[in-house]
Structure 1
Amino acid sequence: MVLLNSTLLSHTPALRKLDLSSLGLHTIHPSFFPRNLTFLEELSLAHNHLTVVPSKALFIFHDSLTHLDLSGNPFESLGAYSFYGLSNVKTLILEQMLKLESIDAYAFGDLHHMETIVLRYMPKIQSIHPKAFHEITSDHKEMTRNDMAIRVEDFTFSFSILTTLPEDLLPWEHLRQVSLVYNQWNCDCNMKWVKSSPLMDLVGVRMVCSQPPRLRGRHLKGVDEKDLLCGHEIASSRKAFGFLAGLMAVGIVASLGTVALLVYWRRGWLCRRPAGVYTNIERTPKTITVADELPWDNPEFQSGNENSQDYSVLD
């Protein structure tokens, strides 16, 4: 384990930029940074072995630090107020967080002036709490507490397995730039809000659906809101479709049955008339001719036994 000498920076009070990346650091002692290092603006602790944000050690920079890079550290989660006291940080970089699985409520709650945040290359991220970027402010005069979202201007959340984006995560109308590419977006009812939000104009066609299979590969911008369904809505839709399909099937069967009945009746296959019933009567001024079925309709005629009868009756 690498340990830094506490006197390393004691003679650099005017230092404004410090790079401590890739040193194999597992922790930073709270007293490592000298008290006279009050002008430090940019700090990189990237690609070390830190498992938590060293907020106690960084608290000394609460008035000066504006840029912080913690990329490549094996954080598994970011708990509430992980960046305690760093209210002046404007840019936070969290890239290649290969073990990060969750970001809790108020994780960034102390970053009141944050303008840019980069969350990129997080293959294990499972969830981000809707209030991860929220802060709680107190009004001492009215004795009230308010829950407000931080007004970020540049937001990057890319190359992760995140499936959905909470609507209350940020005040989206204040964003100027956003990147949400290469995530595993599940285009269901929980993403409907994106369609009517300012976020849609910012991401354009760069927000692509991974789920459900019927929408995979489609741009969220081109998907109709009625197709953004959740499980219970899909089930209801399938039931309605099944009901309509059943009605159509019954209608087709009834139509075919009606046609078949008419054909059977016309051909005489149902309710056949008894033999000998006269079905043809011809009248002339002087005679009346009564005959049995026409020869070409009479099965007996077809077998060679013609029973047609012809009677002439004088007036």
Structure 2
Amino acid sequence: MSGSARRSIALPASALLVAAGVLSVAASAQPYAISVVGIMVLGAAHVLLATRYLAGRVVGAVGESTGWLLAAFVGAMMVVRVASAWSPALGQRLELIGSMTIIAIAAWLGLRGRARWLVLAIVVIVAFSSFVHVPWYWHVFSHSHNLIPLVFLWDWARRHRAGTGLAFTVLNLIWACGIPALILAGVFDGVINSAAPEFVSGLIDPAFVLGSAAPPHADPQLAVRFLVSFTYLQLMHYVVWMVFFQVAGRSEIGALERRFPAIAGWRFGLIVAAISVAIWGVYAFSYIDGRAIYAILGAANVYLEQPIAVWVLLAALPARATTGLVRRIAATG
């Protein structure tokens, strides 16, 4: 790597590593409070900002029919999350089916020849295994969602910092995988506060917060470590979508705004503010209801990023293995 290439990734990589150091300590000190309050205060805004970048990333590459298909995917999954509010067990299974379907269709649209059938077979096997172990599927799903930004960080460096994609990704793996591994190994135990503040207990059962991050049947100490790891990665998730890509992804955001000027500039800020305030209003009456409404909105981020992440990863394959959709995505930005 040349000296100019090293300098081109030094600032963004250093900024993310510094943020990781600070936020890992914060998450260890107050995992319950940050997990509960963070999603309440920043959740809606992060979903909308992430969705804006994701849509801008592919707006110049997808055709009208594929664009409508993406919108239909997202809309359907939002409906599924409405069902989850009424019947969590049914909703979880429907969402599992929907997620696997989206990934399979995205791979089918992005690949050519026998590779399509190979990936489809893999998705079917994963889906079947997940149905057999639904609690484990949701544990892996919840934590892996916080790691999806790694795909887009690699993609950004590949396009905007020529020759630095691999190096930038390796540096990001330090905060995305290295620090969580240290947390789970017990290195942070000396600074972890395992007690939930009283105000958290007034909003939601701390056992629910712990259980949502811990693997099934985990002992209390391991469960708290998983909560700290999840809370830390949740904070980094916010940093990447709400700060990094809003600054470094100006070209992608600009592409979306040129296509849809009605949501450009201050108008988008107004939308973010209005939706955030509305959801905060629901939280004010009931934290559980606020989380349910947020989860419905959150489907936009989760199920838009899945197919786009598939296409972005497929862009690393030889052109002969992929369709025009993937080649256009690889060439844009």
- The TM-score with structure 2 as length reference comes to 0.18
Task: Name whichever structure is richer in strand by fraction.
Answer: 1
- The TM-score with structure 1 as length reference comes to 0.19
Task: Name whichever structure is richer in helix by fraction.
Answer: 2
The higher relative CO (CA closer than 8 Å, separation ≥ 6) is in: 2
